[in-house]
Amino acid sequence: MKKVIVFRLSAMGDVSLTVPVLRAVLEANPDLEITLVTRKFFEPFFYNIPRLTLFFPDLKGRHSGFTGLFKLYADLKNLAGFEAVIDLHGVIRTKILARLFKISGVPGFSINKGRKEKKFIIKSQYIRGLKHATARYLEVFEKAGIKGAMGKAPYLKLREDAGERAGKFLEKFQILPGKLKIGLAPFATHEPKVWGIQNFRELITLINVDYDVEFFLFGGGAEEIKLLTELKNYEPNIHLVAGELQLSQELALMGLLDVMVSMDSSNMHLASLLGIPTVSIWGGTHPAFGFYALGQPTEYHIQIPATSLKCRPCSVFGDKPCIYPIPRCMELVKPEDVYNKLIAFKLLRHV
C-alpha cells in the first residue's frame, strides 16, 4: 500500500504510543504515506517523521456530534487516494468513520484491545502479562499487509527551539548540566492510580538527605498545578514545570532528566519514549494489561506483591472506585520502598 489513514484521537498516553509504531512502519516501507487523524495538542509528538501528515479534526465545531462525523468523513475523503483505514482507537466515532470509508470501497482494519483477556485477569486475579499496546498497534498494520519492527528509544524527536527553551529554564535556576535531575509526576487521571502528594514530599526528604539533586514537577490542569505549587514551596530545589512550558518544551526538559518517578500515566509513557529511566508506581491498575512503560526494566514498575490484596488489579484504566477510603494498594507502597528501589537500581548518584 502507498497511502493509508490512521485514527487515534486520545488519550495522551495512547496517542504518544503510536509514535514508535508509525516510525517503524514508515521506515520499513519507504513508499508508504500516512495521514494521522488526532488532536492538535499532540502535534509535538510527531515532529520530524517523514511521510507523516497530521489531520486535526474540529471536534468542538465543524466535526462535533453525529452530523459532524459525516462532515469529517467528507473532509477526509476529499484528501483522496487512501487504500486502507487503520483504526488504532476502536471507539464508536472511529468505527463509524471506518464503516463510511468501507462503503466507499476503502477497507478498514481495527485494533483488538484484548478486552476479554483483561477482564479475565480482573475476575480471576490470575496475573499474566499481555502484549504491550504498541504490539497491538503493529498488529493492525500487519492485518493490512504493512509490516514494521520497532527500534529502541528515544522515539520522540523534538524541535531545536524547544530544547533551547528547556535549556534557558535550567539556566534560570542556575542548574548546571551535570546536576542530578529527577522528574516527579504525582498525578494520573483516576484516584486509584495516584500515590499522593504527601508520599512524594517524604520521598523528596529522603533523597535530599544524601543527594544533591534538583526536582522537577510535571502535571496539568488547574487543580494539579495548585497542588504542585504547594509542593514546590516545600524545598528550594523543587521546580514547577507544569503550566510553565509548552508541551514541546516540557518534553525537551524531560529528555534532560536522569530519572522520572511517575504514576501509571501519560508522563510515564512520555519519559520512557524519550529513553529516560522511568520508575512508575502502580495501584489499582497493573503492568500486565500492556500499558507499562515501554522499554523499561520490569523491576522499575513498583507495586505491592500480587498476593497482598485480593482486589488488585480492580480495573484496566483505574476508573473503578476503590472499596477503601484511601486505595490500599497505594497506601502499602511506602516512600522508603521507592527510595530504596532508586538506590538499588543505581538511579541516584552523587554529583
pLDDT tens digit sequence for 322-340 = 999 999 999 999 999 999 9
Query: Is the Cβ–Cβ distance between 312 and 182 less than 8 Å?
Result: no
> Do the first three CATH levels of 3-143 and 164-344 match, i.e. the same topology?
yes
What is the DSSP annotation of 216-263?
A: EE---SHHHHHHHHHHHTT-TTEEE-TTTS-HHHHHHHHTT-SEEEEE
CATH number of 164-344: 3.40.50.2000
Span 55-80, pLDDT tens digits: 999 999 999 999 999 999 999 999 99
> Does residue 110 surpass a pLDDT of 80?
yes
At residue 331, φ and ψ (nearest 5 deg) are: -60, -30
Span 39-55, pLDDT tens digits: 999 999 999 999 999 99
Query: Distance between alpha carbon 214 and the CA centroid of its chain, in Å?
Result: 23
Residue 19's pLDDT is 98
Residue 307's pLDDT is 80
> Does residue 265 surpass a pLDDT of 80?
yes
What order of strands is seen across the sheet that includes strand 301-302?
238-240, 213-217, 180-185, 259-263, 278-281, 301-302
Length of the chain (residues): 351
Cell of 334: 511506602
- The closest of 34, 323, 350, 96 to 207, measured between CA atoms, is 350
| Domain chopping of the chain, boundaries | 3-143, 164-344
> Does residue 205 surpass a pLDDT of 90?
yes
* Architecture in CATH of 3-143: 3-Layer(aba) Sandwich (3.40)
- pLDDT-derived band at 351 (thresholds 50, 70, 90) equals confident
pTM: 0.97
Span 79-105, pLDDT tens digits: 999 999 999 999 999 999 999 999 999
